[in-house]
Amino acid sequence: MNLISASQIAKFVKGEIIGENFLVEGAIDLIPGKKSYISFLGNNLNDDYLNKTKSNLIVISNSIPIPNFDKTFIRVLDPKKSFFNIVDKYFHKRCYNSFNDDIHQTAIISKSTKIGSTVSIGPNTIISDDVEIEDDVKIGGNCFIGKGTRICKGSLIHPNTTIYNNILIKNNVVINSGTVIGAYGFGIIKDNNELIQVPHIGNVEIEENVIIGSGCTIDRATMSKTLIGKGTKIDGQVHIAHNVKIGKNCIIAGQVAIGGSSKLGDNVTLGGQVGVIDNLVIGNNCVVAAKSAVMKSLDDGSVVSGIPAINHLKKLRLDVFYSKLPELFKKNK
């Protein structure tokens, strides 16, 4: 394990180091902490946490005086941001690297596949015909990449991921384990009391810098494309149906389900277990609270909650009113 010095870390984040320089073994939460590990003191925490932590390298804000503790400090403008930049730079790969450094001998790769430089492909992964894998792409073990799919530079496909035919994954996308991209959607028509699944000949396009959590399903479009916009972050166990269009820099928490052909604008936040029915439009900068059911389209900047989802402040007022109903009934008996 390669160790990094406290002074090197301070230089990386352009911080001021105060105290002893020593080799750092890793990063850890402030409480309980660990000797020779780095932690950070959030702006909303006080010095009492420094009494309790075992960590002896602490990233703190340069807006507060140096505490009188036998520890080493790195002073920066934004402790949380700097700390996680440090973790990503020096410690991330130690605990979150599911990739080979090369192409595993058990991978099954079509002769028509185009592979860029410094690509890694894990054991038992299947790469179908006419796939294009650009530079610095990493694909874990037991994955399936369908015919005609293109995976662009720097993307990470974690183990046990299934990507169907003709999918476009742009630069620096991360797809976590167990996710399925491009399966048939739930497009059903009735014919003489028989349910028939309509053909889905579209695809899925995932733009740059998207992160998709574990166990997600993103269905292919019927004719055009299902789209995940640039910079969007999707938690685990999320379902995105056929023809959905998601804008840029959206946040979609776990167990959300978005019905077919609905459209989300940019900077939309959906809390955990939100349901969005099909064919809606959710405007830019909307926020939908957890466990809400969106049953109608939302204007830009809407903040909603509840089942069905309504204006959040109105929902809070109604909650207060409903809580007083038993008392009102007693008074009117």
Enzyme catalytic residues = 242
Do residues 256 and 290 touch, judged by C-beta distance below 8 A?
Answer: no
Distance CA 159, CA 183 (A): 18
Do residues 264 and 282 touch, judged by C-beta distance below 8 A?
Answer: yes
**Exposed e or buried b for every residue in 245-270, given b needs 16+ CB within 10 A?**
bbbbebebbbbbbbbbbbbbbbbbbb
Q: Which residues neighbour 210 within 8 Å (Cβ) at sequence distance 6 or greater? A: 170, 173, 174, 228, 229, 230, 231, 232, 233, 234
Rg (CA), the chain: 25
Say whether 127 sits in a helix, a strand or coil: strand
Do residues 252 and 231 touch, judged by C-beta distance below 8 A?
Answer: no
Residues forming a β-bridge with 245: 227, 263
- For residue 333, the tally of other CB atoms under 10 A from its CB is 4
Distance CA 251, CA 233 (A): 5
C-alpha distances in Å from residue 317, one per residue of 12, 102, 195, 286? 49, 59, 44, 20
**What's the distance, CA 316 to chain centroid?**
29
Return the closest-CA partner of residue 40 out of 58, 15, 67.
Answer: 58
Do residues 213 and 173 touch, judged by C-beta distance below 8 A?
Answer: no
